[in-house]
């Protein structure tokens, strides 16, 4: 007997993500799924972002990691509410993990939630978490071939942050080529060159975030 199914394999995850997204929309919280390789600078980016914007935006961070609370400790030291998710070896976050973490946050008093995914350029791109947008951090020490090697990650991300530009003189990273490759995969993507440790280019990133949070508040996003 043949049964016609036509059902999405990640349908359960997607349905939960959709429900969470509707809840975020009702509360007008902008939610960002932040992805990138291990060591690309996701946590450093968040530390700098919290320090710069904590006076104007009410932010919380959900930290996904295989083990340890090292990243959550760093975020907590910046004074922001933070929830740690340990995937115990799992290579990505999924919607049920994030839903559970949300119970620890005061959702009535937040403008922005950043979900820092597990360091990985492959798996996280496939799992919706209820976010409004995805962002990817690529550091120049990883090499300029990464957008073309991991196209799904860059196709899914509304903004690509090319980080550690202060190290460009010590690498053979071709910034123009990497930027062009991201735009070839995702013509509408915002590509921002930054150094999260030195502060270069960070104002453009803050403006991008401010714009998204404001649009969400205004009911446009």
Name the residues that contact another protein, by CB under 8 A. Answer: 1-13, 91-92, 94, 122-123, 125-127, 148, 151-152, 155, 183-188
Distance CA 172, CA 145 (A): 11
CA gap 22, 200 in Å, rounded: 35
Provide the minimum distance between the beta carbon of 32 and another protein in the complex, in angstroms, as a whole number. Answer: 20
Q: How far apart are CA 101 and CA 211, in angstroms?
A: 26
**Cα dihedral sign for 112, 118, 119, 124?**
negative
User: What 8-state DSSP symbol labels residue 107?
Assistant: G
Provide φ and ψ at 159, rounded to 5°. Answer: -135, 135
Q: To the nearest whole angstrom, how small is the minimum distance from the Cβ of residue 189 to another protein?
A: 9
| Residue 170 CA, distance from chain mean position | 27
Shortest Å, Cβ 103 to another protein: 22
CA distance 194 to 68: 27
- Cβ closest to another protein, residue 4 vs residue 108: 4
């Amino acid at each position: 007997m043949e049964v016609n199914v036509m059902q999405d394999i990640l349908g359960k995850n997607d349905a939960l993500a959709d429900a969470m997204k509707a809840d975020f929309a009702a509360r007008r919280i902008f939610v960002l799924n932040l992805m990138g390789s291990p060591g690309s600078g996701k946590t450093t980016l968040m530390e700098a972002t919290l320090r710069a914007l904590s006076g104007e935006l009410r932010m919380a961070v959900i930290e996904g990691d295989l083990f340890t609370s090292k990243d959550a400790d760093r975020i907590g030291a910046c004074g922001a509410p933070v929830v740690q998710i340990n995937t115990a070896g799992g290579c990505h976050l999924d919607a049920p993990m994030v839903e559970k973490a949300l119970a620890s946050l005061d959702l009535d008093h937040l403008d922005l939630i950043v979900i820092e995914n597990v360091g990985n350029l492959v798996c996280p791109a496939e799992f919706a978490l209820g976010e409004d947008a995805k962002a990817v951090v690529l550091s120049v020490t990883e090499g300029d071939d990464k957008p073309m090697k991991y196209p799904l990650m860059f196709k899914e991300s509304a903004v690509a942050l090319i980080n550690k530009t202060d190290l460009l003189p010590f690498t053979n990273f071709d910034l123009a080529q990497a930027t062009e490759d991201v735009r070839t995969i995702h013509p509408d993507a915002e590509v921002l060159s930054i150094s999260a440790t030195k502060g270069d280019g960070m104002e453009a990133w803050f403006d991008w975030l401010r714009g998204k949070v404001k649009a969400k508040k205004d009911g446009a996003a």
